Amino acid sequence: MGTFIGGLAGLVFGLGLIVSGMVQPAKVLGFLDLAGAWDPSLALVMAGAIAVGLPAFALAVRRRETFLGLQMQLPQSKVVDRRLVGGSLAFGVGWGLAGLCPGPALVVAGSGDVKALAFVAAMVAGMAVFEWIERH
């Protein structure tokens, strides 16, 4: 049941990305272009996500189980360290260069878009390299 609900949540998330236009790299790059023709629509999408996420996380931290009876799994660390900052910088640079982040990239890759497929392949390779470094 958890897998079904997770898949349904992913489908709703993907549809939300499509409807909001966040799967269009030009839209994201327009948001990042502060000196040019700035497009604030991504800020509105983020504000909407925060408005939904804040109450959900406030409820989640008080629970031991999900509504489906599964163990609640929330991040435990609250430390801002070199690894977090470095990962955030790498994410931001990739986002700015490609106009995609992982969620929208997966949605666009599902359509067979070659650039999105290359982005997802690079993302998976980066995760593999990270795992290899962590083990050694």
Q: In the prediction, which pLDDT does 15 show?
A: 92
Total-model pTM: 0.75
Q: In this predicted model, what pLDDT tens digit does every residue of 42-51 receive, in sequence order?
A: 899 899 999 9
Single out the residue of 117, 101, 123 nearest to residue 42, CA to CA. 101
Residue 131 in this model has a pLDDT that exceeds 90: yes
Average pLDDT, the chain: 90
Single out the residue of 102, 132, 93, 97 nearest to residue 120, CA to CA. 102
CA distances from 32 to 2, 58, 79, 96, 103 (A): 36, 30, 27, 7, 18
Residue 49, both tokens:
């996500």
Residue 114 in this model has a pLDDT that exceeds 90: yes
